[in-house]
Amino acid sequence: MGVAPAATPPLAGFRPETREFMAQIVSRYPTRRAGLLPLLSLAQEEHGYLTVEAMEQIAAFLGLSPTEVYETASFYTLLHFRPIGEHLVQVCTNLSCALLGARPVVEHLKQRLGVREGETTADGLFTLETVECIAACGGAPALQVNGRYYERMTPSAADALLDRLAGER
């Protein structure tokens, strides 16, 4: 009779300090499930995006099914399931932005960057996404880059923004 293999420690795919921080976060909530979003955010920070393995480990750690974790993660536009560019360009296409010119901005960005929605440029600098409301209706059409808002966008304003971001590299 052989020795049983040691059980895989919870959250084995994360650095020890991340595992410790995740445990601290979960301990602050009345239920383990309540810690799901912060844990997903930490997983994305550590891996650059949400890997299947990370979501499975978080599910096991919280006592959830992998499907429950994926369903929650897929709701949020700030969580990603594949690597993204250095600059995540998210153009709002909700009603106010759509009525005030978001689609021409999106089409211009697609042509300028040489990508389709959801794709990353070959140099890894930009990922282009369309998203629902980013709560900037007063400055429509609006977009955000890495969480920072830019309002009253036009194709020429988008060009100036991309040029500035590319120059910061």
For 100-115, write each residue's pLDDT tens digit: 999 999 999 999 999 9
Topology of domain 16-73, per CATH? Answer: Arc Repressor Mutant, subunit A (1.10.10)
Q: Which two tokens stand for residue 25?
A: 């976060």
Kindly tell me if the per-residue pLDDT of 59 is higher than 70. Answer: yes
62 closest CA partner among 46, 82, 43: 43
**Which residues make up the CATH 3.40.30.10 domain(s) of the chain?**
87-167
In 3-state terms, what secondary structure has residue 107?
helix
Assign 8 a pLDDT band (cuts: 50, 70, 90): low
Looking at residue 9, its pLDDT comes to: 61
Kindly tell me if the per-residue pLDDT of 6 is higher than 50. Answer: no
Percent helix, percent strand, percent coil in the chain, to nearest 5: 45, 10, 40
What is the value of pTM for the model shown? 0.75
d(CA 81, CA 14): 17
Q: Residues 168, 115: contact at Cβ < 8 Å?
A: no
Please tell us whether the domain made up of 87-167 is placed in CATH 3.40.50.620.
Answer: no
Kindly tell me if the per-residue pLDDT of 3 is higher than 60. Answer: no
Looking at residue 66, its pLDDT comes to: 96
Looking at residue 144, its pLDDT comes to: 96
Looking at residue 168, its pLDDT comes to: 85
d(CA 92, CA 96): 9
- Displacement of CA 42 from its chain's centroid (Å): 11
**Which residues make up the CATH 1.10.10.1590 domain(s) of the chain?**
16-73
Looking at residue 11, its pLDDT comes to: 86
Q: CB within 8 A of 127, min separation 6: which ones?
A: 84, 85, 87, 88, 89, 115, 118, 119, 120, 121
Q: Residues 150, 161: contact at Cβ < 8 Å?
A: yes
Calculate mean pLDDT across residues 126-152: 95
